[in-house]
Copies of this chain bind each other. A is one copy, B any other.
Amino acid sequence: MGEFELIARHFTRKSRRALLGVGDDCALLQLRPGTQLAVSSDMLVAGRHFFDDVDPCSLGHKALAVNLSDLAACGARPLAFTLALSLPAVDDPWLSRFAAGLLALADTHDCELIGGDTTRGPLNICITVLGETEGGALLRSGAQVGDDVYVSGQLGDAHLALRALQGQLSLPEPLLTWARQRLERPEPRVALGLALRGVASAAIDLSDGLIGDLGHVLKASGVGATLHTGALEGRLGLLQQHEMSGQVPAGLEVLDAVLAGGDDYELAFTASPQVRAAVEQASARSATPVHRIGRIERQPGLRLVDPQGQSVDHRLRAFDHFA
């Protein structure tokens, strides 16, 4: 099967929003008046971001999810995306499942596939996502001294699934299945990002781990923060699952996983204590749980305190692809 047939079979659908979709030199898109374009690109590489034998349906989902998560962090509404795909060979069933996972998530967020590229080479997936904001985009640079620090959902579970799949940690079923779902099929917090516009002072999505990603917010905003270990430990979804199942995974380093696990694709954001009610409304409106985990301070850097208010010494680095 040729490249053009391949594209046609799996990825061409009727244009909806685009003036011109897949199949010309460019796609054409009309933005609504008064809006700005939000753009983000993410590249996923086999062996680095996913296992070679990952379910292609989950991979299609995740490849778009990590991009939509960037739009969520800016409070942008998804519009469209391009897909560039390097494949070692044409594997029709694989492509069919990949496209199914990708396009199902695209439909959920009304985000149209408008173009891209396919070539032969080591497996590599590069998606560029386009969204629109109507002023008041959520930036990393807006955190103010005194603001509350929040995270959405649960953290650390994806990292523990990864360690279990790598054989570094033993997780009993059904905990592994549950955590693996978090790793392989993250749900981008698009609705929360939209609901937080005009409420949050700064936001970022958590891909490399809370410490590193929140660190970007602190640096961009010229502030520091203190986080509460009690609130953080409660963020590990596995612990809640574990209480239900009655099984205790051995060697669970809860704080490590929550603080530096990565692959969470939750949002971390800051907001003035005066808008706590608005944050709760945004959480309810987007059906997304949010949790207060600390406070922004003048002193640069990130500090941890335990439930007794005692300083906790905990050194962790963000996961850095080139470190």
| Chain A residues numbered 76-128 whose CB sits less than 8 Å from any CB in chain B | 76, 80, 82-86, 90, 114-122, 124, 126, 128
Question: What 15 additional pairs, Cβ within 8 angstroms, besides A25-B71, A26-B137, A118-B321?
Answer: A24-B74, A24-B141, A25-B205, A26-B70, A27-B38, A27-B39, A31-B31, A39-B128, A40-B115, A41-B82, A41-B128, A45-B121, A84-B126, A118-B322, A126-B126
Please determine whether B26 and A73 come into contact, CB atoms closer than 8 angstroms.
Answer: yes
Whether A45 pairs with B119 at a CB distance below 8 angstroms is: yes
- Give every chain B residue within 8 A of A118 (Cβ-Cβ): 321-322
Question: Which residues of B lie under 8 Å from residue A42 when comparing CB positions?
Answer: 84, 117
Contact with B along A288-323 (1 / 0, CB 8 A): 000000000000000000000000000000001111
Instruction: Enumerate chain B residues within 8 angstroms of A321, measured Cβ to Cβ.
Output: 3, 118-120
A 224-255 to B, binary, CB cutoff 8 A, 1 in contact else 0: 00000000000000000000000000000000
Task: Write the chain B residue with the least CB distance to A119.
Answer: B321
Q: Do A131 and B26 form a contact, CB below 8 Å, given A82-B40, A124-B122?
A: yes
State the interface size on chain A (CB cutoff 8 A).
70
Chain B residues, CB < 8 A from A139: 20, 24
Q: Mind listing 21 A-B residue pairs with CB under 8 Å?
A: A1-B322, A3-B321, A25-B70, A26-B39, A30-B36, A30-B37, A31-B31, A39-B115, A39-B128, A39-B130, A44-B119, A45-B120, A45-B122, A47-B121, A49-B119, A82-B128, A84-B126, A117-B126, A122-B124, A124-B126, A126-B126
One complex includes copies of this chain to the number of: 2
DSSP majority for the A interface? strand
Chain B residue nearest to A72 (CB atoms) is: B25
